[in-house]
Copies of this chain bind each other. A is one copy, B any other.
Amino acid sequence: MMAESRHYRALSVETLPDRLGGVAEIASKIGGDASSWKVREVGDGNLNLVFIVAGASRKVIVKQALPFVRLVGESWPLPLYRAFHEHNALVRQAVRAPGSVPEVLHYDEPQAMIVMEFLERHVVLRRKLINGERVAGLASFVGKFCARTAFRGSELSMKSADKKADVGLFSGNVELPAITEALVFTDPYHDAEMNNHTAGLDPVVARLRGDAKLKTKAQRMLQRFASNTETMMHGDLHSGSIMSTATRSRAIDPEFAQYGPMGFDIGMLVANFLMAYFSQPAHRGEDASSYQEWILDVVEESCAVFESEFRRLWATERSGMLYPRALFEDQGHDSMPACEAVLAGIWRDAWSTCGIEMHRRCLTLAHNADFEEIEDVALRARLEARNLMMGAALVHADGDVAGGAGVCEIARSFNERDFL
């Protein structure tokens, strides 16, 4: 490591070759003379600098945290240590769900910088969904990634001492989860300072904020999010945190990682599929329905794969202290009813999270391109209203939903209705 890396300095396209060219571990992987590297800044997220660096041997991604929220500016400081948690999360996800995240090539803690595999030809999934592109194997990827990280990061699998140490480590990730706590769970339901929503939505917004039972249930889920350290969550798994080609996908950007409910990631991701679903009439017009049905197929199959993978891991990898074989198989008892009870709890959290995510993406600070790119404001409001009302239905359901297929049925019925 260079002496200069003791003190954080933000990289730029101009300074990157000079600064990283001296780090043998990186330079040898990129290949060639650093002065010949092609460097492009591609960060389109809310928080970080992201560079593609192409050398003689390969392309890599250089991701560096900024000490503030990029979307807002220096007025909203954010700690650099989130790169530490992102690195720790990537390393764990690579073990728990092999092949599902970019490989880490180098990590520099003082520079809050991770050098990782460049995902050739991958595009952010949200863009593909807006464009109406299909991704083969997407549901399998989603179901397996969520089930494997959920199961293998929990005390169904981990030694308790290791899991407690990990909970301690990630309990240091404070500010980013705090953004989720406020922006996702609370701000949609009151007139928070940075909120904005589409003109015309006021009646629906008033309905949600006037629903004290809905707010109670959202806060119950917040308490579970903040206090239920069941497994290491990705913590921000929306369609902007998945990159795909036509046939394969990877999960990126786990800087919001912390230990939390096993159902959180899949619930948040399904919400983003449902928002893609509800927004399609604006992007495809008359031709929307077949692509909408493809999205629902992905939702239904993702849930089915999650369940079957979770059951497989339960049967074959249950080595933690929870639901030990000594209480079930070793006494001649089938443990699968216990597995189904655990799955029911996971889905309860998932559908609650899903509904809340559908709210926050239309009502608080960080909106989705799926809806934001709809220029016809009246149409946007009409589609967002369907999404918001379905979100409320999911939160109210308390998990009493007939699985992924049931959620898709609800989506179809809300897609036919108008609330404005």
Interface residues of A (CB under 8 A from B): 154-155, 160-161, 164-165, 167-169, 171-172, 174, 178, 181-182, 186, 189-190, 192, 209-210, 212-213, 215-216, 219-220, 222-223, 226-230, 259, 321-324, 326-328, 330-331, 333-335, 337-338, 341-342, 345
Contacts and interface: CB of A to CB of B under 8 A. Distances in A.
B182 A174 contact: no
A328 B212 contact: yes
Given A174-B160, A174-B161, A333-B212, A321 B182 contact: yes
15 contacts: A161-B178, A164-B171, A164-B172, A164-B174, A167-B229, A171-B171, A186-B327, A190-B327, A212-B333, A219-B322, A219-B323, A223-B322, A226-B322, A227-B259, A229-B229
A168 B174 CA distance: 11
A164 to B, nearest CB: 5
Main secondary structure of the interface of A (DSSP, over half): helix
A50 B281 CA distance: 74
Contacts of A328: 212, 215
A181 B219 contact: no
Given A215-B327, A327-B186, A160 B226 contact: yes
B326 A186 contact: yes
A246 to B, nearest CB: 39
A208 to B, nearest CB: 11
A338 B171 contact: no
Q: 5 closest Cβ contacts across the A-B interface?
A: A168-B171, A216-B338, A212-B333, A168-B168, A190-B326
A181 B167 contact: no
Nearest to A219: B323
Given A174-B164, A327-B219, A328-B212, A321 B189 contact: no
